Chains A and B, each alone.
Chain A
């Protein structure tokens, strides 16, 4: 149905994102595209959805050559895209978001009743239920994704592109999404599915195309290819990391949390009498469906807001009232879930992003030492294998995964005593994810107390010493991470079906 022929893309700054890519996608299938960060998956999809134009090559749909030069043109061809970073507006309602740019009108006015009806109709047709009147910002990430999918489907869509759709979802939400996607395929849609996660590709796709360094490295039906082969095609080498569970190095807790309560309108922030203890050298994993209070826990522990009740102590001493700056001076480091909103600035250079916060260590009298800062950044670039034009390039010039490495390097390099890592490997490729996980483990081994929040249960089970499950702002289970602990065992707790203190 869709055919890529000799598609190449060279960016104005000389980066070759795609070269001579050619494969085809059969109608009514789910077709997976796998590849590392910077392999060209997103660029290819941007070309198909009209956000970028190819430098060379052609695309045809049903034999007709097409060249979408805007998302609107792509939509007219029946192509809809669900972005990894949603293109939604938080202050608008679900209905307004879905129909943005194609509102039904009555005279010069938007026909709200008709708009609402259209969204309900759309939701019913694809059985993706959403509240058409809810303000987007109040929804959980999973619900926002439904809105994004409906938005992509709202214009007679025949081809749906999903870029890393499960990166932001918890396992039950992922399963839910997969059921929806299968139903969509059965209704005749063609789905292009971009993922790092082989398990998901295996569960969903009929055909897989692998990209490596901008070229097609493999293209096969799923039935004819093994996971190992896919991994090899993606990475050029097979690689899985062993399970590590760092041991606590002291009986004394570094971080103690007692009765922590945060009352908030948003379920993401709500906390109800949380008790935690994290010892030096230990990685405490937090599991839970998205919106179970993880965000509130991070906010309170990082000093971004103060709890309504309860206390937090570092080395047995209360840190009530301490703000982020004060906690950071005590040795807090925090890798935020949304790296680009909170963790860096695309406009500042790599050097500035990598050393922000530590910059006061690079002073000579009243001035900063730019050479020393650049040298340190070069070291980080080498050590973390960051693909970039140089230490003075703006962060925005890097691909998502490489930019995330810079941000992680900054947090890990501050010699922390307490590290909070929130979805540390979301949206980055397997090699980089392994590297980041190794860094977290190394920090724990050097005596740092680590709080790991992750929607990826494999990651939690591989790294954590203990796992605490949050549900509706409460701790419903606190389990030692022994070999009996499996995703299946955690599932009922995460869904609130079971409670074990």
Chain B
């Protein structure tokens, strides 16, 4: 099993290098220092502790959202509400941190819990509509994101807004509620450990518990689940609730870890990234971790190139998009011949 996973990783890396060579090299040739462009993109993110920190802090919310989407996809559901859940989870957490009269050490956990419950509603409502009435969760969750956004902004404007601040932002998050930093010189906070733990627990749940197994059965073949007497609607709803809680919790972590005030004026996009991460990770909670780090690396490398060279941000975006397409293309990454070339054994033959 491990051997095959490694072969897939190696193949994916090879694809990354081919794409970088195809897009970045011609672009770099237009510059005075073509080698510098390529090395900055590829290795720049690892050159300073601050940039490594950037990768990890970008990867933290992606892990939460990716895990949420992976658990939902595995149960055969779909939900774009993770975006709204992440947003509302952040707002709910900040609101709770501002309002709850709790002593220092209790404030952050209580606020995160409150935020997770509030934020998960964006996933739970479409889940219930699906389980009860068979409404397409794709449409309802997509639409509900905007409801969540504008309700959130209303709450921010009316109840949480600090009149002393110039913009529409909340009061300052109490220092007691902020998450401790882990490494000097970076903004890496304790949330990354929670994200790693969440992914580990997610894998354990999915592959080693009865509930996770049932959810995989329902996701793999709903008729089979029904034949076994499993309640497919309930399993789907359970996955939606779980995914919503995780995504919203991720939003809260993001706020308490990196922000001084709640300042999002639009959907932050981490939920969409989560969908990408889950697809990259092939819905495997443990693989969510490298997938999120990979996306973080792409982002930081792209930023560095755009900042230091005369290459527009759009070109970097183009390359990131192309990388995502090729890395997720099953025709490439599932190709048995390519996989064997990278050392995989035939399916099932390992045992």
Contact = CB atoms under 8 A, between A and B. Distances in A.
Interface string B195-224: 000000000100011100110110011011
A359 interface: yes
Contact of B208 (A325, A356, A368): A368
A366 to B, nearest CB: 6
Contacts of B337: 12
Given A12-B336, A368-B213, A392 B348 contact: yes
Contacts of B158: none
A389 B346 CA distance: 10
B346 A12 contact: yes
Contacts of A12: 336-337, 340, 346
Interface string A4-48: 000000001110000000000000000000000000000000000
B18 interface: no
B217 A14 contact: no
Given A12-B340, A13-B348, A392-B351, A324 B217 contact: no
Contact of B349 (A329, A348, A360, A389): A389
Interface stretch (A125-133, A135-143, A248-256, A335-343): A335-343
Contacts of A357: 228-229
B47 interface: no
22 contacts: A13-B348, A14-B346, A14-B349, A324-B226, A324-B227, A324-B228, A324-B229, A326-B229, A336-B227, A342-B227, A344-B224, A347-B220, A356-B228, A357-B228, A366-B209, A368-B213, A388-B348, A390-B348, A391-B351, A393-B347, A393-B348, A394-B347
B231 interface: yes
A13 B227 contact: no
Contact of B228 (A328, A389, A390): A328
Nearest to B340: A12
Contacts of A347: 220-221
Interface of B: 1, 204, 208-210, 213-214, 216-217, 220-221, 223-224, 226-231, 336-337, 340, 346-351
A437 interface: no
A391 B349 CA distance: 10
Contact of A367 (B209, B216, B228, B351): B209
B325 to A, nearest CB: 24
A352 interface: yes
Interface string A308-325: 000000000000000111
A387 B233 CA distance: 35
B245 to A, nearest CB: 18
Given A304-B226, A324-B229, A363 B347 contact: no
Interface of A: 12-14, 302-304, 323-329, 334, 336, 341-345, 347-348, 352, 356-357, 359-360, 363, 366-368, 370, 388-394, 397
B351 to A, nearest CB: 4
Contacts of A389: 346-349, 351
Contacts of B214: 359
A470 to B, nearest CB: 22
Contacts of A342: 223-224, 226-227
Given A345-B220, A356-B228, A389-B351, 6 more contacts: A14-B349, A304-B226, A326-B229, A328-B229, A389-B348, A392-B1
A211 to B, nearest CB: 23
B334 to A, nearest CB: 12
Centre residue among A329, A341, A342 by max chain B CB count within 10 A: A342
Nearest to B1: A392
Centre residue among B221, B337, B346 by max chain A CB count within 10 A: B221
Nearest to A363: B210
A299 to B, nearest CB: 11
A348 B220 CA distance: 7
B217 to A, nearest CB: 6
Contacts of A394: 347-348
Contacts of A303: 229
Contact of A397 (B204, B224, B347): B347
B228 to A, nearest CB: 4
Centre residue among B231, B347, B350 by max chain A CB count within 10 A: B347
A368 B209 contact: yes
B228 A13 contact: no
Contact of A343 (B204, B209, B224): B224
Contacts of A363: 210
A341 B229 contact: no
Given A304-B226, A336-B227, A348 B217 contact: yes
Contact of A325 (B209, B213, B230, B348): B230
A13 B231 CA distance: 36
A325 B216 contact: no
Centre residue among B210, B337, B348 by max chain A CB count within 10 A: B348
Contacts of A326: 229
4 nearest CB pairs, A to B: A393-B348, A13-B346, A325-B229, A324-B229
B350 to A, nearest CB: 7
Contacts of A356: 213, 217, 224, 228
A390 B351 contact: yes
Contacts of A13: 346-349
A360 B229 CA distance: 13
